């Protein structure tokens, strides 16, 4: 009896072993079908609605990536600052922030202090205010939130809890002014904290000296 049981078990094992390659081959075939055709249709995959959905998803992803690239602007194009302009930066933070050359110089300084995200956030908010298309506003607002407001972002800016609550409420229906309170808070932070150090930095002093020397030579 024991021998017959062992024989029976052996037959079952051999039967299972023989069935396994076939099953694996069937799974492989099914997997290939899934990668080469939409859903499970073979003859009409080109007109399958899944392709439309896939194309729409790819378009949304491409648009999202393009907007994300725009949300991290490079240095603004601007003519070289004049001596008068650079002297004006020392008069007030507002005058510094009014000119692209001033913002570029200040942003270069912020980069040395590892706080460039403050300027990037402020610039992104300014760009958002120029938008009028509702879908673009919503997408840009989402990217700004992910880049500068989310606690998971390495570029998170420093905001108090009250402003964060305002933003969370505003994000229910984003507009050009969703981040106005936060933008003002970051502007004030840069003014009070970073601006005085910028005025005493080598970046500003070297630029001022270079322009002064050129002025004397002229």
Per residue of the chain (218 residues), give pLDDT as tens.
544 454 455 555 555 544 444 444 444 444 444 444 444 343 444 444 444 444 555 554 444 444 443 444 556 777 899 999 999 999 999 999 999 999 999 999 999 999 999 999 999 999 999 999 999 999 999 999 999 999 999 999 999 999 999 999 999 999 999 999 999 999 999 999 999 999 999 999 999 999 999 988 86
86 inside domain: yes
What CATH number did the domain enclosing 170 receive?
A: 1.10.167.10
What residues contact 170, with CB distance under 8 A and at least 6 apart? 177, 178, 179
**What's the pLDDT at 72?**
45
189 inside domain: yes
Spatial separation of the C-alpha atoms in residues 156 and 193, rounded to whole Å = 17
**What's the pLDDT at 32?**
45
126 inside domain: yes
Both tokens assigned to 124: 């992104």
Total domains in the fold of the chain: 1
Q: What does DSSP assign to residue 47?
A: G
**Neighbouring C-alpha atoms within 13 Å toward the C-beta of 25:** 5
Q: How many residues does the chain have?
A: 218
Whether the CB-CB separation of 80 and 209 falls below 8 Å is answered with no
Residue-range definition of the domain harbouring residue 113: 81-215
22 inside domain: no
Model pTM? 0.66
110 inside domain: yes
């Amino acid at each position: 009896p024991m021998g017959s049981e062992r024989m029976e078990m052996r037959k079952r094992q051999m039967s299972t072993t023989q069935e396994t390659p076939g099953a694996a081959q069937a799974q492989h075939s099914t997997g290939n079908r899934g990668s080469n055709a939409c859903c499970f249709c073979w003859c009409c995959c080109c007109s399958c609605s899944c392709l439309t959905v896939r194309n729409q998803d790819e378009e949304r992803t491409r648009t999202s990536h393009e907007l994300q690239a725009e949300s991290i602007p490079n240095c603004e194009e601007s003519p070289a600052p004049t001596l008068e302009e650079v002297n004006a930066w020392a008069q007030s933070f507002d005058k510094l922030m009014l000119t692209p050359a001033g913002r570029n110089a200040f942003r270069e300084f912020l980069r040395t202090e590892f706080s460039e995200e403050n300027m990037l956030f402020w610039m992104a908010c300014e760009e958002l205010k120029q938008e009028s298309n509702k879908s673009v506003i919503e997408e840009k607002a989402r990217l700004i939130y992910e880049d500068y407001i989310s606690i998971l972002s390495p570029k998170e800016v420093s905001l108090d809890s009250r402003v964060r609550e305002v933003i969370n409420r505003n994000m229910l229906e984003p507009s050009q002014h969703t981040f106005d309170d936060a933008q003002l808070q970051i502007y004030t932070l840069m003014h009070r904290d970073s601006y005085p150090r910028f005025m005493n930095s080598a970046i500003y002093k070297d630029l001022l000296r270079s322009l002064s020397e050129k002025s004397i030579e002229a």
